[in-house]
C-alpha cells in the first residue's frame, strides 16, 4: 500500500525525504534547489508531497503556485497515487516538470485520473561536468555582479525570460528574482572593456553540486564567445570552491546552446520534459 503524505512545512518534508532526494542529487537538482529556497524563504501555499511504502519515500513532488509542479526521480508505480494526492490537495496545477519517463507517466496518470489534459511543452537536456573547460582568446574577465550592476542585471533577467517566452507569472517576478540573486552573490558578469557583456548565474543545489542558470548575452554582442567564457570560468570557480559537479539545462530544440555546453566539457546526463496541464475534475481521483 502506497501512502501519499502532504507536509505543512519544508523542515518536516526535508527530514522525511531529504536523504531520498540527495541520493539522486543530480537528477533531483531542481526540486532540491527549490527546497533549499523554501528553507530560506518559506511560502505558505507551497505544496510538499511524498509517496512511500512502509514509511520509506519512493517519490516526491514540490510546487509553489503558480509555478509548475516539480517531480523527483523515483518509482513510476507511485505516480498514480501522487496524482491522486495532487488532485486531493486542490492546488492549482498549470504544469509539471520531471525526468522523461517520470513526466510521461505523470501525464498518462493525470489524463486517466479525472479526464484532465496533459500537453507536451518543452523538452530539455540536463548536462553535468566535474571539470572546467575555458575557451581561449575571449577578451575580458569574469567578476561578481555588484550593487552598481543592479539595473543591467534586472534588464538581462527580464530579457532572458522574454526571449524564452516564459509564462506571464515568471516574467512578472524576473526583476525581483534578479535583485535577490544579485544580493546573494549568485550573479556573475563577463566584462569586456570595462562594461558587462554577458551574465551567468548559479544556485547551490546541495553542498556537493550547483546548477548554472540563467545565461544571457545581449543579442548585439553574441557570436563573440562571451557566454562560453563566462560559463567555463564560473564552472571552474565553483569546482575550485569545493562543489563536486556543476549542471545546467539546454532546450533540446536549441542546437547552439547544446553544442556550446558540450565544447565546455559538459556531458549529457538525462532528459526532462515539461507538460502543460489542465485541471482534472475535482473528486474523481482514485487512490
Mean model confidence pLDDT for the chain: 94
Q: What is the mean pLDDT of residues 39-63?
A: 94
* pLDDT (tens digit per residue) in 137-166: 999 999 999 999 999 999 999 999 999 888
Count of alpha carbons within 13 angstroms of residue 133, beta-carbon side: 12
Residues found in the chain: 287
CB neighbours of residue 67 within 10 Å: 16
pTM attached to this predicted model: 0.92
The residue among 284 and 34 whose pLDDT is bigger is 34
**Are the beta carbons of 28 and 61 closer than 8 angstroms?**
no
Checking if the pLDDT of 204 tops 70, the result is yes
**Are the beta carbons of 264 and 233 closer than 8 angstroms?**
no
* pLDDT value of residue 287: 38
* pLDDT (tens digit per residue) in 107-117: 999 999 868 89
* pLDDT value of residue 165: 85
* pLDDT value of residue 286: 44
* pLDDT value of residue 280: 53
CB neighbours of residue 175 within 10 Å: 17
What residues have CB less than 8 Å from 172, skipping those under 6 apart? none
CA separation for the pair 115, 281 (Å, rounded): 7
Euclidean distance between the first and final Cα of the chain, in Å? 10
Burial of 214 (0-12, 13-18, 19+ CB in 10 A): buried
Q: Of the given ranges (32-36, 85-89, 111-115), which has the lowest mean pLDDT?
A: 111-115
Buried b (16+ CB within 10 A) or exposed e, 126-152: bbbbeebebeeebebebeebeeebbeb
**Are the beta carbons of 69 and 102 closer than 8 angstroms?**
no
Domains of the chain: 3-124+272-277 (3.40.630), 132-264 (3.40.630.30)
Q: What is the mean pLDDT of residues 218-233?
A: 97
What residues have CB less than 8 Å from 140, skipping those under 6 apart? 190, 191, 192, 193, 197, 226, 229
Q: What is the mean pLDDT of residues 254-273?
A: 96
CA separation for the pair 23, 250 (Å, rounded): 23
266: closest CA among 123, 126, 142, 124? Answer: 126
Q: What is the mean pLDDT of residues 36-53?
A: 94
* pLDDT value of residue 112: 93
The residue among 175 and 169 whose pLDDT is bigger is 175
Q: What is the mean pLDDT of residues 24-42?
A: 94
* pLDDT value of residue 241: 95
Amino acid at each position: 500500500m502506497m501512502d501519499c503524505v502532504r507536509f505543512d512545512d519544508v523542515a518536516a518534508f526535508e527530514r522525511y525525504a531529504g536523504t531520498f532526494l540527495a541520493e539522486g542529487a543530480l537528477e533531483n537538482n531542481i526540486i532540491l534547489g527549490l527546497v533549499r529556497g523554501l528553507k530560506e524563504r518559506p511560502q505558505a501555499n507551497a505544496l510538499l508531497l511524498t509517496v512511500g511504502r512502509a514509511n520509506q519515500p519512493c517519490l516526491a513532488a514540490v510546487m509553489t503556485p503558480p509555478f509548475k509542479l516539480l517531480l523527483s526521480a523515483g518509482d513510476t508505480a507511485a505516480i498514480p497515487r501522487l496524482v491522486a494526492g495532487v488532485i486531493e490537495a486542490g492546488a492549482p496545477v498549470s504544469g509539471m516538470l520531471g525526468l522523461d519517463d517520470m513526466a510521461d507517466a505523470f501525464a498518462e496518470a493525470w489524463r486517466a485520473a479525472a479526464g484532465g489534459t496533459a500537453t507536451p511543452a518543452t523538452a530539455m537536456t540536463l548536462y553535468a561536468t566535474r571539470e572546467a573547460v575555458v575557451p581561449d582568446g575571449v577578451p575580458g574577465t569574469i567578476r561578481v555582479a555588484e550593487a552598481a550592476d543592479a539595473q543591467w542585471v534586472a534588464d538581462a533577467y527580464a530579457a532572458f525570460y522574454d526571449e524564452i517566452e516564459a509564462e506571464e507569472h515568471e516574467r512578472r517576478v524576473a526583476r525581483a528574482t534578479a535583485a535577490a540573486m544579485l544580493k546573494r552573490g549568485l550573479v556573475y558578469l563577463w566584462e569586456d572593456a570595462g562594461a558587462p557583456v554577458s551574465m551567468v548565474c548559479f544556485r547551490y543545489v546541495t553542498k556537493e553540486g550547483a546548477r548554472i542558470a540563467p545565461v544571457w548575452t545581449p543579442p548585439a554582442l553574441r557570436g563573440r564567445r562571451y557566454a562560453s567564457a563566462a560559463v567555463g570560468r564560473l564552472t571552474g570557480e565553483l569546482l575550485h570552491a569545493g562543489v563536486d559537479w556543476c549542471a545546467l539545462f539546454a532546450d533540446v530544440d536549441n542546437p547552439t546552446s547544446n553544442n556550446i555546453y558540450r565544447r565546455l566539457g559538459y556531458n549529457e546526463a538525462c532528459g526532462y520534459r515539461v507538460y502543460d496541464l489542465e485541471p482534472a475534475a475535482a473528486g474523481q481521483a482514485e487512490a
